[in-house]
C-alpha cells in the first residue's frame, strides 16, 4: 500500500491560522492524528500559532488605540467649534449690556467656556490668569462707560 502524501506547507499554514486542536484539525483535513501530531510537535507549529496570536493581539490593540484617538480628536474639534460659537454669543450678549446679574452670569459662562477650551487643548485650568466674575463685571462697566464718552 502506497503511503499517502500531504501538502504539509498548506496544512501548516492552515493550522497556524486556525484555532482547532491538533486532533480536530487532523480529523477535519483527513490526516491521521498520530502523523499530524508528530509533525506539529517536531516542527513546533503550535509555537508559531502562538506567535501569530500575540502579533494579532498587539495589532488589534494598536488599531483600537488609533480608532479611539481619531474619534477623540474629532470630538474635541467639534467641541472647540461649539465653544467658539457659544463664546461669540456670550460676547455679543455682553456688548449689549444688561442687568448686573445677567452680566455676572454671562461672564461666569465665559470663565467656564475658557476652562473647557483649555481642557480640550490639554492645558491646565487651575493656573489661568483670570479674575473673579466680579472683576469681569467691573471691566465690562469700564468698557461701557468708555463707549459712552466717545
pLDDT at residue 116 in the model = 83
Separation between Cα atoms, residue 29 and residue 22, nearest integer Å: 11
pLDDT at residue 130 in the model = 54
pLDDT at residue 135 in the model = 62
* CA 41 distance to own-chain centroid: 42
pLDDT at residue 145 in the model = 72
- Counting as low any pLDDT under 70, the low residues of the chain are 1-2, 127-140, 143-144, 146-150
pLDDT at residue 26 in the model = 96
pTM: 0.49
Separation between Cα atoms, residue 68 and residue 74, nearest integer Å: 10
DSSP-based helix, strand, coil % in the chain, nearest 5:
80, 0, 20
Q: What would the pLDDT profile of 26-39 be if each residue is shown by its tens digit?
A: 999 999 999 999 99
pLDDT at residue 87 in the model = 87
Amino acid at each position: 500500500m502506497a503511503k499517502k502524501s500531504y501538502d504539509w506547507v498548506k496544512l501548516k499554514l492552515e493550522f497556524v491560522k486556525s484555532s482547532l486542536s491538533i486532533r480536530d484539525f487532523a480529523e477535519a483535513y483527513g490526516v491521521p492524528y498520530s502523523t499530524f501530531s508528530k509533525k506539529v510537535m517536531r516542527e513546533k507549529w503550535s509555537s508559531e500559532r502562538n506567535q501569530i496570536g500575540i502579533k494579532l493581539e498587539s495589532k488589534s490593540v494598536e488599531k483600537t488605540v488609533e480608532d479611539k484617538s481619531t474619534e477623540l480628536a474629532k470630538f474635541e474639534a467639534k467641541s472647540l467649534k461649539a465653544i467658539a460659537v457659544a463664546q461669540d454669543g456670550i460676547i455679543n450678549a455682553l456688548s449689549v449690556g444688561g442687568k448686573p446679574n445677567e452680566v455676572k452670569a454671562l461672564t461666569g459662562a465665559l470663565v467656564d467656556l475658557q476652562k473647557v477650551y483649555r481642557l480640550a487643548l490639554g492645558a491646565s485650568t487651575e493656573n489661568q490668569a483670570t479674575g473673579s466674575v466680579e472683576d469681569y463685571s467691573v471691566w465690562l462697566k469700564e468698557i461701557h462707560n468708555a463707549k459712552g464718552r466717545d
